[in-house]
């Protein structure tokens, strides 16, 4: 199988991050990394696939899904379903949601997978640099001045949306954190999953090179459920440098790896998370609009784009099994 450059860079990043975590634990390091490891982090991030924040410097593109969908949820809230709903009026970029009964071999689903250019994607800053700047909505004017961004520009709107989301209260049973550096992401993940656990990170991989972002995909035979009663999902957010919205929910969630083939022959190893309890979600959650359901009436599953990822305790990975 030929692996695309993007998939290779992603796999390289995840492998190296896991090695960093193991090294940190082996020498009993404190959460504060040494300068040498900080440099390694930056080196790795330069080859990382990138994130949604590149839209901040590409004003001709749609900058923020949340501004057009009328919701405060970040990219985690993309949508999809091919049941008896008419989606002709919906933005294709939100078509990633479905329900668990549709996760079966042979099912044909419309899915949007963004294809982003790593060379134009903002990268993680080292922690000391990121921490030297305010990350707060009440410091917006200062931030706009620092980044030379006009107050009424789409970039400013994207920053406002990101800061609002990061400062909003979590839903019941949720832990959330906006990571402005790789170090802070790892610290939050280890605190949430347990410092004693080695970590494993998963992400969607595109196995073929293609510019197609939205099409029908068919689910192939290898649907694998990964044992992960606890997980942390991290989603890219639009900002001048890399920011990830990371969160974990106490309610039952299921993690799957799914092989897909597109109508044009594209092959994808996609990660799927299914939230089994949606009773505490807001009625305006975009997935309910797609699926035609209400909070608590149905589980909600969604595909992950390649630049989002899921952390789980490594010991739980051994529980992976085919459906």
- Domain holding 273, by residue range, is 5-322
Structural domain total, the chain? 1
pLDDT (tens digit per residue) in 9-25: 444 444 445 444 444 44
- Per-residue burial over 269-296, b = 16 or more CB atoms within 10 Å of its CB, e = otherwise: bbbbbbbebbeebeeebbbbbbbebebe
Phi then psi for 237, rounded to 5 degrees? -130, 150
**Cβ-defined contacts of 61-70 (< 8 Å, 24+):** 62/93, 63/154, 63/155, 63/157, 63/158, 63/238, 64/154, 64/157, 64/158, 64/161, 64/238, 65/91, 65/93, 65/94, 66/161, 66/165, 67/157, 67/158, 67/161, 69/94, 69/286, 70/284
3-class SS string, 196-219: CCCEEEECCEECCCCCCCEEEEEE
Total-model pTM: 0.72
pLDDT (tens digit per residue) in 128-184: 999 999 999 999 999 999 999 999 999 999 999 999 999 999 988 999 999 999 999
Nearest Cα to Cα of residue 265 among 209, 199, 187, 193: 209
Q: What is the reported pLDDT for 319?
A: 54
pLDDT (tens digit per residue) in 190-229: 999 987 668 899 999 999 999 999 999 999 988 999 988 7
């Amino acid at each position: 199988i030929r692996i695309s450059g993007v998939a290779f860079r992603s796999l390289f990043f995840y492998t190296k991050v896991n090695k960093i975590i193991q090294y940190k634990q082996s020498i009993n390091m404190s959460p504060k990394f040494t300068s040498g490891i900080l440099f390694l982090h930056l080196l790795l991030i330069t080859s990382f696939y990138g994130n949604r924040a590149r839209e901040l410097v590409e004003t001709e593109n749609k900058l923020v899904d949340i501004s057009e969908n009328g919701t405060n949820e970040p990219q985690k809230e993309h949508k999809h379903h091919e049941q008896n709903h008419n989606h002709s009026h919906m933005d294709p970029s939100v078509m990633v949601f479905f329900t668990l009964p549709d996760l079966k071999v042979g099912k044909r689903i419309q899915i949007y997978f963004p294809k982003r250019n790593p060379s134009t994607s903002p990268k993680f800053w080292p922690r000391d640099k990121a921490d030297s700047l305010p990350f707060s909505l009440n410091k917006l004017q200062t931030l706009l001045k620092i980044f030379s961004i006009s107050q009424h520009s789409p970039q400013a709107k994207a920053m406002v949306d990101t800061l609002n989301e990061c400062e909003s209260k979590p839903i019941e049973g949720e832990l959330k954190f906006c990571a402005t550096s790789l170090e802070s992401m790892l610290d939050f993940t280890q605190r949430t999953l347990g410092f004693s656990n080695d970590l494993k990170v998963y992400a969607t991989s595109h196995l073929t090179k293609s510019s197609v972002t939205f099409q029908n995909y068919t689910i192939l035979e290898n649907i694998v459920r990964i044992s992960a009663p606890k997980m942390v999902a991290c989603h890219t957010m639009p900002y001048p440098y890399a920011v990830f919205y990371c969160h974990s929910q106490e309610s039952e969630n299921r993690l799957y790896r799914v092989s897909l083939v597109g109508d044009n022959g594209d092959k994808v190893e996609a990660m799927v998370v299914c939230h089994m309890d949606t009773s505490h979600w807001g009625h305006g959650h975009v997935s309910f609009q797609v699926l035609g359901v209400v909070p608590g009436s149905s589980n909600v599953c969604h595909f992950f784009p390649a630049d989002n990822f899921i952390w789980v305790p490594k010991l739980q990975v051994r529980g992976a099994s085919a459906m």
